[in-house]
Amino acid sequence: MRIVDFIEAKRDGKVHSADDIHTFTLGFTRGEIPAYQASAWLMAVCIRGLSSGEMFALTDAMIESGCRLDLSSIPGMKLDKHSTGGVGDKVTLAVVPLLAAAGVPIAKLSGRGLGFTGGTIDKLESIPGFNSALSQSEIIHNVATVGACICSQTGDLTPADGKLYSLRDVTGTVESIPLIASSIMSKKIAAGADVILLDVKIGRAAFMKNRADGEALAEALLEIGERYDKKVSVTLTSMDAPLGRAVGNFLEAQEAVSLLKGENADPDFEEETLHFVSRGLSLTQKGGEVQAKHLIESGAGFKKFCEIIKVQGGNPEVFETPKIASHQKVVSAEKNGYVYDIDALAIGKTAMRLGAGREELDDKIDSLAGIIIHSGIGIKVKIGDPLAVLYTSKPSEIPDAETSIGISFTISDHRAETKSRILGERSVGF
Amino acid sequence: MRIVDFIEAKRDGKVHSADDIHTFTLGFTRGEIPAYQASAWLMAVCIRGLSSGEMFALTDAMIESGCRLDLSSIPGMKLDKHSTGGVGDKVTLAVVPLLAAAGVPIAKLSGRGLGFTGGTIDKLESIPGFNSALSQSEIIHNVATVGACICSQTGDLTPADGKLYSLRDVTGTVESIPLIASSIMSKKIAAGADVILLDVKIGRAAFMKNRADGEALAEALLEIGERYDKKVSVTLTSMDAPLGRAVGNFLEAQEAVSLLKGENADPDFEEETLHFVSRGLSLTQKGGEVQAKHLIESGAGFKKFCEIIKVQGGNPEVFETPKIASHQKVVSAEKNGYVYDIDALAIGKTAMRLGAGREELDDKIDSLAGIIIHSGIGIKVKIGDPLAVLYTSKPSEIPDAETSIGISFTISDHRAETKSRILGERSVGF
């Protein structure tokens, strides 16, 4: 295969053979095909698309490019969960211990946050001592003994995806449904899961800006799942407003702990958590919503959370007398009315500037920085009532943050209708 | 400007500002923007296109990236000619001395051949001693004294084009009308011409495969010419069959010399030559077709050819007792009938394999290798009559070449209609 012919074929909207996609993917991973050729091809893919067959071939090739996590020594159906990312999305922190408490084995490989979206690993690393870098044998040992682990993606799995993703990130070629779907699914399949819960977020603070794109991604994810004989459930959820009350790493971990302890949870956060736990229980034949609620009420989920954290070196006692950022600022309502909308994108970007996120991959995170939403959607406020509290160690960022958080709240004379954030669910393999 | 935003804008079909195109082009030329970002943008341009304004901005930026050849010390309207390339296209070798003989100053910067297309510089370098690498002051000196020079493109002019073209060549991003037009015109404008004759070839052995693409390129070239206040004439010519009888560097130089000497020229080659000379004379107000013919008949064109070659170190006497390749092979007709068609692409590729062209940029050329068409389109042949003669120093290539040349001739019971290769002409600036 001449690589220029391969690139030109996609430029002209043609369909590649599986062999050619393998040759390209593995050649690029080994460094034999230069980045400038790969990025031209990626751009052609972004504009021209990939057929299902091409997407399968790319997924296959990315899996083949590295090792696979072999969880076969652990009995039962292994589960994994993935969210396409948003603002305030700490659902994984609650779902993993709850399902593990019900005996569902989970080896959860997670990423770090970039831009306005948070990452599960950053949230967990806000717990002093927590170690996210586990070897394959540590992963298997932890899942076998504690029932679950949450750790960083290792370079051994799907290195082709890692290398392609880094290139896509700097060449304007992230937004492609078949590329996103094959990236997500290759990692999940290489990580050895039998059951995969996927959360495709839709809205202004999500990758997928509209329902049609979200449904197209869901379709692609399910297609790949079916081809690999996996049980896959895709839930479409809304990401227009932040999920729950906390945005920021330690603040979100605290909110997850509160939910696990059965303390006054945000109803949206609780609904999404129970949804994914119920789906996970039902797909592994261990129960449904009743059992999911019981795992919280009984304290089993919180107990499992502490076990998972401890075995990875973290100290869960940090939540008993939590630390707080050096500077706080209350943002107050400037008119009377109902909180009608909160712009998650503005909240996410502001939290990032307060120190909760990274603009560049190498930026340091301030784990205590972030925002607590005090008055959520539907709450009636009077002038001067607190809308949100900012937390940061960078007081110079506070004035701008205060302005943008003020703008991100829409206050109306009318109360917004209460709507579920769960927009739909589809599954294959059952 | 964030370069990723710039790439994404073109991916999504948006129009860039002139400033952004300048920033990109000059940043890439200086090495500040990596090739993998440039190639993603180039692919987006290939698929989404460029507006006229964007194409002008790119042309401007490429000119600005280097020096300009200052021909202002030479009186009169300076002329330049460019062909998009084909098989057997030695028109420049005849047109330049004929126009120079009429007093039209020409600083002709030419390229080398790649793939199945030949390059004017390679054809001239088949003349022993000929030096194509002239400095700017040598160019000006030669044009001032002899009236013309034909030399290699210097890296000082439009380095951005050189760098972008090299990247396009290996990333499947050559085929884009605005990129081709701005590449051609930036070089011609930087080289200081007032009058530009352009030959856009159309057909199976041309860049432009069909009339619609050829017309679109002509339109783009004229648009750029108009913007720079140049007199530009674009002629569309057919490149389905090889032009003239010879394909191969020294063989083509010999055919050009024969035409200049008034010896039994191929009618198509003569027609195209006279067309471009007439256009050049009329655009510089020095005559028309009658004068063009007279420049051949009087021997003035051949005399000027010898002067140009000599002043660049070449020995025109080589054409008196020409050298010949070590191996020759006659390809004969295998049926009776009329030569109905000759596939220029097959001829060009075969000539390349016989040694007349380069597969890769660094390949060496055998200047004596090539093909002479013995029986052109319209000629009646009997079984065993010679169709063409192969010339090479690589006898091992002969059997395959013989087969492919045999196939490249279509012999029919019907005589093909005689058609002019000149398909149309448009001009601006007059």
Q: What pLDDT score was predicted for residue A358?
A: 86
ipTM of this predicted structure: 0.88
B14 burial type by CB count under 10 A (0-12 exposed, 13-18 middle, 19+ buried): exposed
> DSSP letters along B159-178, please?
HHHHHHHHHHHTTT----HH
- Minimum-distance CB partner of B36 among A36, A46, A47: A36
Q: Do A167 and B8 touch (CB under 8 A)?
A: no
A21 in Cβ contact with A61 (< 8 Å): yes
Q: Do B11 and A48 touch (CB under 8 A)?
A: no
Structure tokens at B32: 């500040």
Q: What pLDDT score was predicted for residue B359?
A: 79
Give the tens place of pLDDT for each residue, A178-230.
999 999 999 999 999 999 999 999 999 998 999 999 999 999 999 999 999 99
pLDDT band at B117 (very low <50, low <70, confident <90, very high): confident
Q: Is the pLDDT of residue B233 over 90?
A: yes
A interface with B, Cβ–Cβ < 8 A, is 4-8, 11, 34-44, 46-48, 167, 170-173, 175
Q: Do A172 and B38 touch (CB under 8 A)?
A: no
Q: Is the pLDDT of residue A430 over 80?
A: no
Dihedral (Cα; A27, A33, A34, A35), 10-degree rounding: -50
Share of chain A above pLDDT 90, in %: 92
Q: What pLDDT score was predicted for residue A20?
A: 98
Q: Which residues pair with A424 in a beta bridge?
A: A236
Q: Which residues in A396-418 are b (16+ Cβ under 10 Å) and which e?
A: ebbeebbeebbebbebeeeeeee
The mean pLDDT value for B405-410 works out to: 96
Q: Is the pLDDT of residue B118 over 90?
A: no
Q: Do A44 and B172 touch (CB under 8 A)?
A: yes
Mean pLDDT for all residues in chain B = 95
Give the tens place of pLDDT for each residue, A334-363.
999 999 999 999 999 999 999 999 887 778
- Minimum-distance CB partner of B36 among A7, A8, A171: A171
Q: Among all residues of B, which ones are annotated catalytic?
A: 82, 161, 168, 183, 187
What are the chain A neighbours of B37 within 8 Å (beta carbons)?
A: 39, 170-171
Q: What pLDDT score was predicted for residue B378?
A: 94
Give the tens place of pLDDT for each residue, B249-272.
999 999 999 999 999 899 999 999
Three-state SS at B239: coil
The mean pLDDT value for B28-54 works out to: 97
Q: Do A48 and B47 touch (CB under 8 A)?
A: yes
Best of A6, A12, A43, A169 to mutate (most B CBs within 10 Å, chain B): A43
Is residue B406 within a helix (H) or strand (E), and if so which, with residue range?
Answer: helix B398-408
Q: Is the pLDDT of residue A114 over 90?
A: no
Q: Is the pLDDT of residue B66 over 80?
A: yes
- Residue B251 one-letter amino acid: L
Q: What pLDDT score was predicted for residue A116?
A: 79
Among A10, A123, A187, A421, the one annotated catalytic = A187
pLDDT band at A1 (very low <50, low <70, confident <90, very high): confident
Residue A343 annotated among the catalytic residues of the structure: no
Best of A32, A47, A165 to mutate (most B CBs within 10 Å, chain B): A47
Cα separation, B158 vs A353, in Å, equals 42
Q: Do B34 and A37 touch (CB under 8 A)?
A: no
Q: What pLDDT score was predicted for residue B115?
A: 76
Residues in chain A: 430
B145 burial type by CB count under 10 A (0-12 exposed, 13-18 middle, 19+ buried): exposed
- Residue B152 one-letter amino acid: S
pLDDT band at A429 (very low <50, low <70, confident <90, very high): confident
Q: Do A39 and B39 touch (CB under 8 A)?
A: yes
Q: What pLDDT score was predicted for residue A156?
A: 87
Q: Is the pLDDT of residue A154 over 80?
A: no
Q: Is the pLDDT of residue B158 over 90?
A: yes
Q: Is the pLDDT of residue A159 over 80?
A: yes
Chain A closest CA to B184's CA: distance in Å?
22
Q: Do B8 and A40 touch (CB under 8 A)?
A: no
Q: Do A36 and B170 touch (CB under 8 A)?
A: yes
Residue A82 annotated among the catalytic residues of the structure: yes
Q: Do B39 and A37 touch (CB under 8 A)?
A: yes
Instruction: Kindly report the number of other CB atoms within 10 A of residue A84's CB atom.
Output: 21
A405 in Cβ contact with A248 (< 8 Å): no
- Residue A185 one-letter amino acid: M
Share of chain B above pLDDT 90, in %: 92
Best of B42, B47, B169 to mutate (most A CBs within 10 Å, chain A): B47
Distance between first and last Cα of chain B = 40
Give the residue with greater pLDDT, A197 vs A117.
A197
Cα separation, A153 vs A121, in Å, equals 10
Task: Please name the residue of chain A whose CA is at the shortest distance from the CA of residue B48.
Answer: A47
Give the tens place of pLDDT for each residue, A301-324.
999 999 999 999 999 999 999 899
Among A22, A78, A168, A275, the one annotated catalytic = A168
Chain A closest CA to B28's CA: distance in Å?
13
A48 burial type by CB count under 10 A (0-12 exposed, 13-18 middle, 19+ buried): middle
What are the chain B neighbours of A38 within 8 Å (beta carbons)?
A: 36
What are the chain A neighbours of B47 within 8 Å (beta carbons)?
A: 11, 43-44, 47-48
Give the residue with greater pLDDT, A409 vs A322.
A409
Chain A closest CA to B159's CA: distance in Å?
19
Q: Is the pLDDT of residue B312 over 90?
A: yes
Give the tens place of pLDDT for each residue, A43-92.
999 999 999 999 999 999 999 999 999 999 999 999 999 999 999 999 99
Give the tens place of pLDDT for each residue, B351-405.
999 999 987 777 889 999 999 999 999 999 999 999 999 999 999 999 999 999 9
Q: What pLDDT score was predicted for residue B54?
A: 98
A184 in Cβ contact with A82 (< 8 Å): yes
The mean pLDDT value for A233-247 works out to: 97
The mean pLDDT value for B400-416 works out to: 96
B94 in Cβ contact with B257 (< 8 Å): no
B75 burial type by CB count under 10 A (0-12 exposed, 13-18 middle, 19+ buried): exposed
Q: Is the pLDDT of residue A155 over 80?
A: no
What are the chain A neighbours of B48 within 8 Å (beta carbons)?
A: 47
Cα separation, B429 vs A397, in Å, equals 58
Q: Do B173 and A48 touch (CB under 8 A)?
A: no
A394 in Cβ contact with A355 (< 8 Å): yes
Q: Is the pLDDT of residue B212 over 90?
A: yes
- Residue B148 one-letter amino acid: A
Q: Is the pLDDT of residue A401 over 90?
A: yes
B interface with A, Cβ–Cβ < 8 A, is 4-8, 11, 34-44, 46-48, 167, 170-173, 175
Beta-carbon contacts of B290 under 8 Å, excluding residues fewer than 6 positions away, are: none
Q: What pLDDT score was predicted for residue A112?
A: 82
- Minimum-distance CB partner of B44 among A5, A43, A167: A43
The alpha carbon of A301 is separated from its chain's Cα centroid by a whole number of angstroms, namely 20
Task: Please name the residue of chain A whose CA is at the shortest distance from the CA of residue B175.
Answer: A8
Its pTM stands at: 0.89
Number of cross-chain residue pairs from A and B with Cβ atoms under 8 Å apart: 90
Among A60, A80, A161, A366, the one annotated catalytic = A161
The mean pLDDT value for B301-315 works out to: 97
Q: What pLDDT score was predicted for residue A131?
A: 96
Using only C-alpha atoms, chain B has a radius of gyration, in whole angstroms, of 22
Q: Do B172 and A40 touch (CB under 8 A)?
A: yes
Is residue B424 within a helix (H) or strand (E), and if so which, with residue range?
Answer: strand B422-428
Q: Do B42 and A38 touch (CB under 8 A)?
A: no
Q: Is the pLDDT of residue A95 over 80?
A: yes
Mean pLDDT for all residues in chain A = 95
Task: Please name the residue of chain B whose CA is at the shortest distance from the CA of residue A48.
Answer: B47
Cα separation, B355 vs B358, in Å, equals 8
Q: Is the pLDDT of residue A328 over 80?
A: yes
CA-closest candidate to residue B68, choices B139, B152, B156, B149: B156
Residue A358 annotated among the catalytic residues of the structure: no
- Minimum-distance CB partner of A8 among B8, B167, B172: B172
